[in-house]
Amino acid sequence: MSSLAMRPCGDFRTSYKADNTIFETKTIRLVTFLVIALACAAPLVLDGYFLTLFIQISYLGIAALGLNILVGFTGQISLGHGAFFGFGAFASAWLNTSFNIPVVFCIPLAGFLTMGVGMMFGMPAARIKGLYLAIATLAAQFIIQDFFGRAEWFTGGASGAMAAPVSLFGFDFDTDMSFYFIALFALVFMYIWGCNLMRSRDGRAFVAVRDHYLSAEIMGVKLNKYRLLSFGISSFYAGIGGALYAHYLGYVSSEGFTILMSIQFLAMVIIGGLGSIKGTLMGVVFMVLLPEVLEGMVGLMKYTDYGNLPMVTDGLAYIKEMAIGLVIILFLIFEPEGLAHRWGQIKNYWKCYPFAY
């Protein structure tokens, strides 16, 4: 099927290979490579502000994909993803400062450390489901957050931890432009890995566990193993995202990794589309850009004659916060399957155009 340039109207996949392909058609493959090539050239035209937004999309996107693997593909739940993200950030900084391991190695190592922690907290997942599991992961959030406050050897306590910039062959990636390439590489790498994972035996086992755990077990899928593995992989992604965040800022303080961050990750995967890899990225882009776009609108209001009064701008600030909440609620009501589903519908519409079916 990937030999076709356009998507045929109907599903004509006749082999496992065709069913397993990453890029469904030639055009999709071409567009993907084109987008990556354009992204590589982007710093030539974009300023620091856009680069920062992209870097944010990268590290949050990697962590959100982890959560989607857990929630969207395996049907588990986690309310502690923000804490795992923070753990990755501290772990990478700690490995670098305490053991002098180069940062490029610290980032994947931090992923593995976070994976260990995630699996430890994911252990109850082998036994409990649904709401009970949600509460167990919520506990993980609070335990880890408290740990950040107390473990001075690891996090620096109240002073926080310093994270050196990524350095390769003597070159420091400490500017927005240079770090952009690290972030882009990590994003593409982790997303391709995520796509491949979902095509593999383990990925399919995750989906089987989600769709019907009893059938999966009867088919020989080890439930405990895959539930735990899903927690591990999810935390690994969170750890990598957190480590990138740490080395971008150069400094980690535990203030940011609260329950709010965990909820924000959940919102990202719900808005993007549960169980969709491209949907995850869409959700992250949406959540990162929404406050900026709203802020831009507030900003435009300030240029009007009567708009720059504290009363008006303060009011708009509240409206901005409320609008974010409102958009999330509207999504849950009108687009429960997320942006990925909407994108599919748009494509279907054009595929059948001008006919409705």
**51 sits near another protein (criterion: CB under 8 A):** yes
**184 sits near another protein (criterion: CB under 8 A):** no
Are the beta carbons of 119 and 234 closer than 8 angstroms? no
**325 sits near another protein (criterion: CB under 8 A):** no
Count of chain residues binding another protein (CB under 8 A): 43
Question: Quick one: three-class SS letters along 232-276?
Answer: HHHHHHHHHHHHHHHHHHCEECHHHCCHHHHHHHHHHHHHHCCCC
Question: Which amino acid would we find at residue 207?
Answer: V
**172 sits near another protein (criterion: CB under 8 A):** no
> Quick one: CA torsion of 42, 47, 49, 50, rounded to 10 degrees?
-20
**336 sits near another protein (criterion: CB under 8 A):** no
Rounded to a whole number of angstroms, the distance between the first and last alpha carbons of the chain is 22
Site for another protein in 228-287 (CB under 8 A): 249-251, 253-256
Among the listed ranges 104-112, 118-126, 221-229, 309-317, the one in contact with another protein (CB under 8 A) is: 309-317
Closer to another protein by Cβ: residue 142 or 193? 142
Question: Which amino acid would we find at residue 238?
Answer: A
Tokens of 183: 């972030």
Closer to another protein by Cβ: residue 161 or 328? 161
Burial 99-114 (b: 16+ CB within 10 A, else e): eeeebeebbebbbebb
Please select the residue that binds another protein; options are 313, 342, 343, 344, rule is CB under 8 A: 313
**91 sits near another protein (criterion: CB under 8 A):** no
Please select the residue that binds another protein; options are 28, 104, 134, 174, rule is CB under 8 A: 174
CA distance linking residue 339 with residue 334, whole number of Å: 11
Does the N-terminal peptide bond of residue 354 adopt cis geometry, omega within 30 degrees of 0?
yes
Minimum distance of another protein from residue 105's CB (angstroms): 21
Are the beta carbons of 198 and 73 closer than 8 angstroms? yes
**300 sits near another protein (criterion: CB under 8 A):** no
Please select the residue that binds another protein; options are 302, 325, 350, 351, rule is CB under 8 A: 302
Closer to another protein by Cβ: residue 119 or 176? 176
Chain residues in the site for another protein (CB under 8 A): 47-49, 51-53, 56, 60, 146, 149-150, 156-162, 174-176, 249-251, 253-256, 288, 291-292, 295, 299, 302, 309-311, 313-314, 317-318, 320-321
